[in-house]
A and B are shown apart, each in its own frame.
Chain A
Amino acid sequence: EAGVAQSPRYKIIEKRQSVAFWCNPISGHATLYWYQQILGQGPKLLIQFQNNGVVDDSQLPKDRFSAERLKGVDSTLKIQPAKLEDSAVYLCASSPNRGLDYGYTFGSGTRLTVV
């Protein structure tokens, strides 16, 4: 089966600019996650979707970050305006349903550098 697709692979922007990341999960996976991984740290959950509804966005900086999952399939994560501290790898993951027991499949990530 095809994996989780993410684009772009790399992005360099200046602070205060906007940026968007795209994720296409594995077909049929109901749950989609966006994680932020800062260099040297473990991934931190930003937002979790169940189909096209938001389950958890408690750690999403909503003043600058937004995310949507269209028709319960593809998802986009946007940052506007970007700050230097947003430099990180943004990982998308999907699973058949909520919970670690279903197994996560991660995409390759988008490495964002804010200068």
Chain B
Amino acid sequence: GIQVEQSPPDLILQEGANSTLRCNFSDSVNNLQWFHQNPWGQLINLFYIPSGTKQNGRLSATTVATERYSLLYISSSQTTDSGVYFCAVATSYDKVIFGPGTSLSVIP
């Protein structure tokens, strides 16, 4: 089956710094979604981005489907950005597979 990798596994940032999180997938996907899981465990949709680039405030994402990767950019990080970031992909059979996540800690 399809494999999803995320890097780095852990990241510690000073407040105000920028970061790039990466998601690699081993096969063609129809859909890709970035999620944020806050320190209390709540999972929130960030971007639905099977291809192209999207921006929402300080966050933006780019997916290059032909090269099988997606990037999540966080600019001017804040402590509220802390948590785990997951990418999830869906194959042609609509089976959704989550990556292992990147754990982000933003310190003041």
Report if A and B associate in a common complex.
yes
Chain A residues with a Cβ under 8 A of chain B? 33, 41-45, 56, 89, 91, 93, 98-101, 103-106, 108-109, 111
Contact between chains at B45 and A104 (CB < 8 Å):
yes
Contact between chains at A108 and B41 (CB < 8 Å):
yes
Contact between chains at B31 and A101 (CB < 8 Å):
yes
- Among the 9-residue stretches B57-65, B74-82, B94-102, the one with 4 or more Cβ atoms under 8 Å from chain A is B94-102
A100-B32 in contact given A56-B95, A106-B43, A108-B41 (Cβ < 8 Å): yes
CB of B86 within 8 Å of the partner chain: yes
CB A83 to nearest CB in B, in angstroms, measures 22
Bound Cα distance from A98 to B92, whole angstroms: 12
Instruction: Count B interface residues, CB 8 Å.
Output: 24
Residue of A nearest to B93 (CB): A56
Contact between chains at A98 and B42 (CB < 8 Å):
no
Contact between chains at A89 and B90 (CB < 8 Å):
no
Contact between chains at A43 and B48 (CB < 8 Å):
no
CB of B88 within 8 Å of the partner chain: yes
A91-B43 in contact given A100-B31, A100-B90 (Cβ < 8 Å): yes
CB B40 to nearest CB in A, in angstroms, measures 8
Give every chain A residue within 8 A of B32 (Cβ-Cβ): 100
Give every chain B residue within 8 A of A45 (Cβ-Cβ): 95-97
Contact between chains at B43 and A41 (CB < 8 Å):
no
